[in-house]
């Protein structure tokens, strides 16, 4: 079955739902929750038609919606399109939204209406950014994500939420303003070459690689434009040394905010590297691969080491994100087909595993109002189901064969081996460290001697929370057991991208 | 010259006559008739807008009227309609404010109308003399408006500062004009253009004239280092007056700026553009940095308006057709955003005169969600975040600068836009992230008319942000005026 304008429906749908919520007075809190949940589940179901309507043999963009003239004077169009890479990431997004709403069911108790409106607007921004085929449109969606996330951290966050929100905001904004100049410059360059204004991705694929590469940075427009894009994305990923906003944002954000931040927002950085930096500026990319590899490896190891000494579970998971995203960047920089496929898969994996980890940490935080590892210990007997789920997610995160993380990391490392064996060796160390800090945390929280009497009455995970985490577990296992389901749709797209 | 030559000038004549009528009516009605007087002022402005549309539009190409004093073109129509809209919104916002004050409405309304007449002349002047007369009519009316609350020390102080510095800048401007006239032998903008284009080398007296006219104009649009009058004038003036002077006169000054520099002085663009480049960069850097530390919202918005003049100046630096219409569009968008933001400040002035600090905004989102959402839109717009119109305005100005090869200036502009977010968001942080329950919270007053105007501004800010096409088309129609198309 083919739905017309499916991409537009999936993109704009959440914003329409947000508008509907906006009309309902804020005192009907239950109604807001249920409507938002309904909207997000419907969105997920509708987004499954993307999957059924997708032809994996076609490498280019499919289900293209547009172009519709938006700002004709500058050749800016509304164009959405999807290939195998964006398909997976959009599905990850639509999967995570209901999870976030369920996870926030009781933990968000103030300004419920505003929270769900923010979340739905954020969804439109994220999906739009994955699907936009016009760089200007991409930028608008990119910016659209900023404000809702800022509010989610700043209003519903923890004690230092304002500091964290402002920091998140400034970092992201600094990155994106340079990207705006770069996009304008590309449009101008296209105009210079062809005499036509355009911001279409397809047009930039032809003209952007023609930007000159000079002897020094300042004399090479391609490198400058590349760096302007790279800065925006490196902050979002976040790559070392632009990562410092992340732990603050994660620790202060509410559980739902952390899930969406780790699950999807960070992926926009890596997605941007692949879609724009890699494809539009091949020469500059080639020149910067060593730098990206070095930063990726530093990110992997540094993130792991810092995670190891964190007393706070959430902060530990946050730093583990820095490490995991380092793997993704490594796979992208290595640039073989296997490593790139692994990187894209690992984006999805990280969204599932880390999303689930944040969710589970949130579950126990809601009961005890502490996330310090030292405040727990030996609670496996008190909360057996919770323990089992946590362990499963942990194993997925550290890459146990049979679960999703293994497939992604294996593809990345195996695919990079032929080109950069030394880097792979260092990166593989990161996997070991990852196992150490995750298992050590699990051991201290669940199995070390029972230390705190307050934990005696800890309630086990309830049905709603299980329902929230269950969809993630399904895909964690599915990807681990049968990754082909997810690798084959993106293969043609990855090949096409790397062939440029 | 026959009487029929005055037909295109009917809107201005009508508005001036209406201003005189309201002035007289104000004497008889006194304090009681504030709403009647303001209502008739608004009605007169609406009629004027219709008259501009009927009589003031050019038939075919640009039309020089009244012996070369004024020109009818799309640029003039565009700016006239912006200014009339700004005056209408500002007047309606003033009604409740004036009623709560001990002052009458007659002089107030008529001064706004006189200022509007002056601005309309500035928008369509074809001769340095008529432009200057328009400017002074506008400026003198505005000086009085700033000091209108005569029992308030701050209002008086602001008026005196504004007047002294304004008079000084007018003097500089006139001196520059006299040098231009002395060397080129004409005050006609087209004549100056031809004379300059015909000169192989600019002589020093004409050059000095251009520089002094430039300084005068930079003064009027408040560009660093000629901006110092702005924060004091904005802070001290009654808030509706601040709202008015931050948009109408600024748009008018930019219209005049465009006519003189992209029209008459265009042959020497290479000489003055570097100065403008430096001024624009300095303005964006200084104003945005200074705004960071302001605790008084009106002062902060004053620095913000200086910064916006800096962004708009980029279009003049670009000096292209796109530069021209991007400035026009910018002024249109800025008018709505800034009026809306000041409208919110008016609503907040429940605790006496102009005492609103940023802390007064704490927790407003909880108590007044709709109004706070409006203010959020204006802050996002002024900061230039999509999907608001402010983003579109900046986009075109930046695109014009990039197209003209000014990538460095654009980088400065975007970095300073990011900085500006910080202070705009101080208000948002207060409204949304603080409770405001610690100390006595400020309350918004109920004023249906101000709320309605805020709504109009929100709608315009969002509509132009999402669908800028028609407005861009309208602004672009204005470029034929200066022969840049």
Kindly state whether B435 is in contact with chain A, defined as any CB-CB distance less than 8 angstroms. no
List chain A residues with CB under 8 Å of B418.
Answer: 170, 173-174, 177
pLDDT value at position B354? Answer: 45
Kindly state whether A45 is in contact with chain B, defined as any CB-CB distance less than 8 angstroms. no
Kindly state whether B391 is in contact with chain A, defined as any CB-CB distance less than 8 angstroms. yes
Kindly state whether B268 is in contact with chain A, defined as any CB-CB distance less than 8 angstroms. no
Shortest CA distance from B424: residue in chain A = A166
Given a cut of 80, whether residue B2 has pLDDT beyond it is no
B252 neighbors B122 (Cβ within 8 angstroms): yes
Radius of gyration for chain B, computed over Cα atoms and rounded to the nearest angstrom: 21
Average pLDDT of span B62-83: 88
Average pLDDT of span B16-28: 92
pLDDT value at position A5? Answer: 87
Given a cut of 50, whether residue B32 has pLDDT beyond it is yes
pLDDT value at position B21? Answer: 94
Read off the tokens for A28. Answer: 């009907």
- What is the pTM assigned to this prediction? 0.89
Quick: pLDDT tens for B242-285. 999 999 999 999 999 999 998 888 888 888 889 899 999 999 99
CA distance A293 to A154: 34
List chain A residues with CB under 8 Å of B422.
Answer: 166, 170
The reply to whether residue B414 touches residue A177, judged by beta carbons under 8 angstroms, is yes
Q: What average pLDDT is seen over chain B? A: 88
Quick: pLDDT tens for B375-429. 999 999 999 888 899 999 998 999 899 888 898 999 999 889 988 988 998 888 8
pLDDT value at position A349? Answer: 92
Domains of chain A, by residue range, sit at 6-499
Given a cut of 80, whether residue B445 has pLDDT beyond it is no
The reply to whether residue A177 touches residue B415, judged by beta carbons under 8 angstroms, is yes
Average pLDDT of span B295-314: 92
Q: Residue B396 contacts by C-beta under 8 Å, 6 or more apart in sequence?
A: A74, B315, B322, B325, B326, B329, B330, B472
The reply to whether residue B402 touches residue A181, judged by beta carbons under 8 angstroms, is yes
Shortest CA distance from B392: residue in chain A = A71
Q: Residue B44 contacts by C-beta under 8 Å, 6 or more apart in sequence?
A: B14, B15, B18, B19, B22, B113
Q: What average pLDDT is seen over chain A? A: 89
DSSP labels for B369-387? HHHHHHHHHHHHHHHT-TT
B438 lies in which domain range? 269-485
Residue ranges of chain A with per-residue pLDDT less than 70: 1
CA distance B326 to B334: 12
Average pLDDT of span B170-175: 94
The reply to whether residue B387 touches residue A140, judged by beta carbons under 8 angstroms, is yes
| B423 in any annotated domain | yes
Confidence of residue B41 (pLDDT cuts 50, 70, 90): very high
Given a cut of 60, whether residue B331 has pLDDT beyond it is yes
The reply to whether residue B399 touches residue A185, judged by beta carbons under 8 angstroms, is no
| B436 in any annotated domain | yes
Quick: pLDDT tens for A109-166. 888 888 999 999 999 999 999 999 999 999 999 998 988 999 999 888 888 888 898 8
pLDDT value at position B438? Answer: 58
Confidence of residue B480 (pLDDT cuts 50, 70, 90): low
List chain A residues with CB under 8 Å of B399.
Answer: 74, 184, 187-188
* Chain A (5-44) residues lying within 8 Å, Cβ to Cβ, of chain B: 26
pLDDT value at position A351? Answer: 92
Q: What share of chain B is helix, strand, coil (3-state, %, to 5)?
A: 80, 0, 20
A326 upstream amide cis, omega within 30 of 0:
no
Given a cut of 90, whether residue B443 has pLDDT beyond it is no
Choose from A289-293, A362-366, B114-118, B345-349 the range with maximum mean pLDDT. Answer: B114-118
Quick: pLDDT tens for B448-457. 888 899 999 9
| B192 in any annotated domain | no
Phi/psi of residue A70, nearest 5 degrees? -115, -55
| B394 in any annotated domain | yes
List chain B residues with CB under 8 Å of A161.
Answer: 433
CA distances from B93 to A479, B30, B373, B434, B443 (A): 61, 20, 19, 28, 18
Kindly state whether B204 is in contact with chain A, defined as any CB-CB distance less than 8 angstroms. no
Shortest CA distance from A110: residue in chain B = B366
Among candidates B387, B399, B432 on the partner chain, residue whose Cβ is nearest the Cβ of A184? B399
The reply to whether residue A191 touches residue B366, judged by beta carbons under 8 angstroms, is no
Among candidates A151, A169, A173 on the partner chain, residue whose Cβ is nearest the Cβ of B432? A151
pLDDT value at position B279? Answer: 93
Q: How far is CA B360 from the centre of its chain?
A: 27
Quick: pLDDT tens for A355-384. 999 999 999 898 888 888 888 888 888 888
The reply to whether residue B395 touches residue A184, judged by beta carbons under 8 angstroms, is yes
The domain tally of chain B equals 1
Quick: pLDDT tens for A432-448. 998 999 999 998 888 88
């Amino acid at each position: 079955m083919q739905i017309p304008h499916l991409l537009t429906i999936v993109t704009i749908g959440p914003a329409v739902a947000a508008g509907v919520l906006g009309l309902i007075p804020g005192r009907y809190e239950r109604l807001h929750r249920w409507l938002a949940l309904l909207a997000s589940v419907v969105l997920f179901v509708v987004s499954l038609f993307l999957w059924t309507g997708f032809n994996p043999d076609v490498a280019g963009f499919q289900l293209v919606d547009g172009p519709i003239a938006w700002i004709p004077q500058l050749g800016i169009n509304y164009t959405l399109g999807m290939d195998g890479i964006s398909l997976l990431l959009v599905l990850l997004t639509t999967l995570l939204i209901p999870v976030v709403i369920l996870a926030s069911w009781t933990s968000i108790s103030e300004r419920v209406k505003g929270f769900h409106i923010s979340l739905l607007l954020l969804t439109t921004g994220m999906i739009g950014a994955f699907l936009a085929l016009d760089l200007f449109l991409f930028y608008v969606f990119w910016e659209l994500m900023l404000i809702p996330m800022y509010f989610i951290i700043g209003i519903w966050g923890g004690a230092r939420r304002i500091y964290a929100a402002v920091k998140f905001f400034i970092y992201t904004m600094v990155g994106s303003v340079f990207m705006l100049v770069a996009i304008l410059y590309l449009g101008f360059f296209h105009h210079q070459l062809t005499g036509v204004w355009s911001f279409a991705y397809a047009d930039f694929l032809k003209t952007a690689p023609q930007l000159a590469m000079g002897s020094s940075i300042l004399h090479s427009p391609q490198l400058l434009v590349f760096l302007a894009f790279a800065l925006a994305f490196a902050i979002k990923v976040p790559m070392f040394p632009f990562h410092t906003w992340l732990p603050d944002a994660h620790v202060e954000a509410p559980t739902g905010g952390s899930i969406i931040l780790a699950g999807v927002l960070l992926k926009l950085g890596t997605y941007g590297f692949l879609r724009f930096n890699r494809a539009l500026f091949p020469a500059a990319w080639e020149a910067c691969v060593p730098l990206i590899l070095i930063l990726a490896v530093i990110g992997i190891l540094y993130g792991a080491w810092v995670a190891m000494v964190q007393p706070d579970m959430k902060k530990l998971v946050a730093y583990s994100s820095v490490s995991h995203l380092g793997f993704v960047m490594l796979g992208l920089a290595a640039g073989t087909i296997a490593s790139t496929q692994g990187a894209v898969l690992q984006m999805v994996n990280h969204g599932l595993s880390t999303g689930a980890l944040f969710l589970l940490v949130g579950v126990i935080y809601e009961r005890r109002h502490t996330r310090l590892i030292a405040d727990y210990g030996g609670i496996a007997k008190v909360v057996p189901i919770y323990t089992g789920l946590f362990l499963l997610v942990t194993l997925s995160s550290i890459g146990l064969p049979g679960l999703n993380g293994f497939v992604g990391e294996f593809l990345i490392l195996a695919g990079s081996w032929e080109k950069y064996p030394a880097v792979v060796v260092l990166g593989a160390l990161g996997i070991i460290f990852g196992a150490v800090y995750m298992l050590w945390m699990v051991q201290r929280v669940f199995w070390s001697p029972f230390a705190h009497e307050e934990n005696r009455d800890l309630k086990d995970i309830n049905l709603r929370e299980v329902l929230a985490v269950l969809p993630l577990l399904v895909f964690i296992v599915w990807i681990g057991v049968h990754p082909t389901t997810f690798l084959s749709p993106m293969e043609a797209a990855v090949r096409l991208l790397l062939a440029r | 010259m026959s009487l029929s030559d005055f037909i295109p000038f009917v809107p201005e004549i009508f508005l001036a006559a209406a201003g005189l009528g309201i002035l007289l009516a104000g004497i008889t009605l006194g304090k009681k008739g504030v709403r009647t007087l303001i209502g008739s002022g608004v009605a007169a402005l609406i009629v004027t807008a219709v008259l501009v549309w009927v009589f003031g539009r050019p038939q075919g190409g640009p039309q020089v009227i009244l012996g070369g004093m004024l020109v009818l073109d799309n640029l003039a129509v565009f700016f006239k309609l912006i200014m009339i809209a700004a005056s209408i919104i500002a007047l309606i916002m003033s009604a409740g404010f004036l009623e709560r004050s001990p002052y009458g409405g007659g002089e107030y309304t008529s001064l706004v109308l006189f200022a509007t007449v002056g601005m309309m002349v500035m928008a369509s002047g074809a001769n340095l003399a008529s432009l200057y007369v328009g400017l002074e009519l506008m400026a003198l009316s505005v000086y009085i408006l700033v000091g209108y609350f005569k029992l308030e020390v701050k209002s008086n102080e602001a008026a005196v500062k504004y007047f002294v510095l304004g008079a000084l800048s007018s003097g500089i401007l006139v001196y520059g004009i006299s040098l231009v006239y002395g060397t080129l032998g004409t005050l006609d903008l087209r004549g100056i253009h031809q004379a300059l284009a015909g000169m192989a080398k600019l002589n020093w007296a004409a050059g000095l004239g251009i520089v002094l006219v430039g300084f005068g104009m930079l003064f009027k649009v408040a560009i660093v280092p000629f901006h110092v009058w702005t924060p004091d004038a904005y802070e001290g003036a009654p808030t509706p007056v601040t709202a008015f002077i931050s948009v109408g006169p600024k748009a008018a000054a930019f219209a005049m700026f465009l006519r003189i520099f992209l029209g008459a002085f265009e042959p020497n663009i290479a000489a003055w553009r570097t100065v403008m480049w430096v001024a624009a960069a300095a303005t964006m850097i200084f104003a945005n940095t200074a705004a960071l530390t302001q605790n008084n919202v009106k002062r902060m918005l004053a620095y913000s308006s200086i910064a916006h003049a800096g962004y708009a100046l980029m279009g003049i630096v670009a000096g292209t057709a796109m530069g021209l219409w991007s400035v026009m569009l910018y002024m249109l968008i800025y008018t709505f955003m800034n009026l809306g933001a000041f409208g919110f400040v008016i609503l907040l002035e429940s605790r006496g005169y102009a005492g609103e600090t940023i802390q007064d905004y704490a927790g407003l989102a909880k108590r007044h969600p709709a109004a706070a959402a409006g203010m959020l839109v204006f802050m996002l717009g002024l900061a230039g975040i999509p999907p608001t119109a402010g983003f579109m305005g900046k986009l075109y100005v930046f695109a014009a600068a990039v197209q003209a090869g000014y990538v460095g200036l654009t980088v400065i502009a975007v970095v300073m836009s990011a900085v500006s977010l910080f202070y705009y968001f101080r208000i948002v942080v207060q409204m949304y992230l603080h409770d405001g329950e610690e100390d006595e919270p400020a309350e918004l007053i109920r004023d249906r008319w101000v709320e309605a105007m805020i709504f109009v501004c929100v709608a315009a800010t969002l509509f132009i942000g999402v669908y800028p096409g028609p407005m861009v088309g309208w602004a672009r129609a204005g470029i034929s005026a200066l022969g840049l198309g």
